[in-house]
Amino acid sequence: MTDVKKRIEELRSILHYHSRKYYLEDAPEISDVEYDKLFYELVKLEEENPEYYDSHSPTVRVGGKPSEKFEKIKHTVPLKSLTDVFSYEELHRFIAKNEEEFGQIDYSVECKIDGLSAALHYENGNLIYGATRGDGTVGENVTANIKTIRSIPLSIDYQGMLEVRGEIYMPKEAFDTLNAEREANEESLFANPRNAAAGSLRQLDSRITATRKLDIFVFNLQACDKSFATHSESFDFMKSQGFRTVPFQTVCHSFDEIVSVIEEIGQKRQSLPYDIDGVVIKADSIAKRNEMGEATSTPKWAVAYKFPPEQKETVLENITIQVGRTGVLTPIAELSPVRIAGSVVSRATLHNIDFITEKDIRIGDVVVVQKAGDIIPEIVESKKDRRDKILVSFAMPEICPSCGETVFRDEEASVRCTNAACPAQLMRNLQHFASKDAMDIAGLGPAVLKLLKDNDIIKNVSDLYRVKPEQVAALERMGEKSAENLVNAIADSKERGLARLLYALGIRQIGITTAESLVKHYADIDDYFSLTAEDLCKIEDIGEITAQSIVEFFSRETTKQIIEDLKALGVKTTAEKEEILDQRFAGLTFVLTGTLPTMSRSEAEALIKKYGGKASSSVSKKTSFVLAGEDAGSKLTKAQSLGVTIIDEEEFLRMIG
C-alpha cells in the first residue's frame, strides 16, 4: 500500500470518527477549523489520486456532478402520514378507544420535526440510496444530495438489510443565514425552514445542497432483517448504528404521562434550534401495532398532536391592496414586525372586505396575529378595547390601484378588476392567451413571455402580433431559428377562430365549452359589445353570473381597444358555421376522461358536435355517456356511482358508424 493511499484511508477514518462525535454524541473533540483542515487535505489527495475514489468517503459531502433528473424509487415500506389531533380531548379519545379494544398500551412520545420525510436504505453496512417520501409509495432518488448531509452515516456496523425513515430539516440558524444571503443577492426569500429544506433537497446539483447545511433526525426503523419487540428497542439500535434519532423520545404508560411530556416539549419549543410542529404518539409494542393495523394512508396505532398556533400582539400600521393574477383585489395588513413561530412577520392577508368588517379591523388597531398551520400569517382579532382614539372603518377602493379602471364586487365577496390590459394581471393573461386550448401558440411558454415582457416588447395580448423576428432573436437564449419559429406560430394562431379567442381573452366564467355555445348564437365579436345580460341568459348553459361577467368585460373601453387592435392585426374575430352531419347525438351529453387509443379528446369532442351532441367537462345525472380511455380518473368513478353509461372508443366509433 502506498503512503498516499494509507494517508487517504487514515483521513477517512479520522473524519468519520469526529463526525460521529459531533453529530451523534454531541461531544466534539476538535474545532471546526481543525476538522476542515483535515477534510480539505483529503479532498486534495482524492482529486490528485482518482484511482482511490470511494463512494462512502466523507468528501461526498461536498456534492458532485449535477443530475439531469431524479429517478423513481419504490419504498420498501410505504411512508405513510399521520392522523392529526388538535386537543387533549381528541388525544384522550384516541387513547381510550385503543385501550377499550386492545388493552393497556405503552406509547412512545417524541418530537414531530417540521421538515420532509426521507427513507435511507442500507445493505452490507453501506448506504445504497436515499429517497424522498413522494406519494408515500414511490419517491425520488436523491442519494447524491442525501450524502451531503453530514449527520447521515455513509456506512454502519450492521451488515444486514436496514431501512430507516427520518425527517430532513434546515436548522433555524442556517435558514436565517441562507435568507440573508439571498436578500443580499436580490433573490426571492424562502418562506420558512421547511420550504427551504424541501427546495434544497431536490436540487439537481448536489453541490448546491451541500451549501445549505441540512440535517436529519431519524425516527423510525422501516425494515430490517433483525426483529425487535418494541419501537424503543429499535430506537436504541438505530442510535448504536450512528443515526441521530429524534429528540425527547420517551415511553409513557398513561394518558397523563403523555400530556406531561407534551407540555414539557411545548415549553421548550421556541428555544429549540430547529422547528417542530407537534408531538408524535405511537404504540411502542410492535405486536400491538400489528394487531391495531393500518388504514389506507395512515397507521391506526399513531397520531400527531399539533400545538395550537403561537399568537402575538402587534400594531396594524396600514392596509394596502394587492392585485392578483386573476384580477382580485386583496387587502394586505402591514404590521409592526413581530416574531412568530420562528420567523419575523410584517404582513398578513385580510382576505376580503367581509373578513375585515366581520372582525372590525381598523388601521391603528392592536391585533392578535398567528400563523395558520405555523406557516401563513393571519389576523385572529383586533383588540377593540385598546383603541384610544376614533379609528376609521376600512373601505375597498373603487378603482384598481394597478390600472385605474373601475372594479366591481362579485357574489363571493371579492372585489375584482376585469381590465384585460391591467399590468398586475398581464403575465397570467398572456400565459392563458397562448395556452393550448386558447390560441395554442407553440413555443410561447412562461419563460419566453417573461423575456418579451421584461424587455418591453409586449404590454398586452395584441402586442404579441406585433412581435418581429429580430426582436426575439436579440433576447437571451433565443436565436434566429427560434425567433422565426415563434413569430410563425404567433401568425398561425390568427386563424383559431372566435370561440378560441373568446376563451383566450380570459373572460371570467368563460371556458372553451361556454365559448363554443356562445359563437353558435353570436358569430361576430362585434355583436358582444351590444349584448345584454337578458340576451345572453337565453343561451343554454349561460346563467346570470356568466352573462353579467360577459357584459362587464365588453363594456370596458380597454376591451374595445384590444379587440380593434386584434382585428387590425389580422386575428380572426368571427366564427365559421359549424358543420352538422346529422342529429344522431341530439340531446345527448358526453363526458370524456382518460387517454383514448387512437384519437385526442378534442378530436372526439369535434365528432360529438358534428353529430349534434354536446361535450361537457363534468359528470352529473344528466350525462348520457362517459367516454373513457386509459388512466380514467375521478370522472369514471363518479359515473359508476351515478349509474351513467360508460363506453370506450370502440363503442363510440360504432355509434358513429
Active centre residues (catalytic): 112
CA distance linking residue 510 with residue 461, whole number of Å: 18
CA atoms within 13 A on the CB side of 29: 10
Burial 97-106 (b: 16+ CB within 10 A, else e): ebeeeeeebb
Provide the 3-class DSSP secondary structure of residue 181. Answer: helix
- Owner of C-alpha cell 404521562: 257
CA distance linking residue 647 with residue 628, whole number of Å: 6
Residues 6+ apart with CB under 8 A from 391: 362, 363, 364, 365
Contact present, 377 and 369 (Cβ < 8 Å) = yes
Q: Residue 74: how many CB atoms within 10 A of its CB?
A: 10
Residues 6+ apart with CB under 8 A from 427: 325, 446, 449, 450, 453
How far from 331 is each of 114, 396, 403, 443, 581, CA to CA, in Å?
A: 30, 8, 17, 36, 53
Contact present, 69 and 204 (Cβ < 8 Å) = yes
CA distance linking residue 452 with residue 472, whole number of Å: 8
Sheet holding 126-132, edge to edge: 126-132, 116-123, 161-169, 215-224
Give the helix/strand (H/E) hosting 376: strand 376-382
CA distance linking residue 407 with residue 398, whole number of Å: 6
Q: Report the first-to-last Cα separation within the chain, whole angstroms.
A: 80
- Owner of C-alpha cell 358555421: 577
Q: What is the DSSP string of 296-320?
A: SSSBTTEEEEPPPPPEEEEEEEEEE
Residue 311 C-alpha cell reads as 399568537
CA distance linking residue 71 with residue 91, whole number of Å: 39
266 class by beta-carbon count within 10 Å (0-12 exposed, 13-18 middle, 19+ buried): middle
215 class by beta-carbon count within 10 Å (0-12 exposed, 13-18 middle, 19+ buried): buried
- Owner of C-alpha cell 415500506: 77
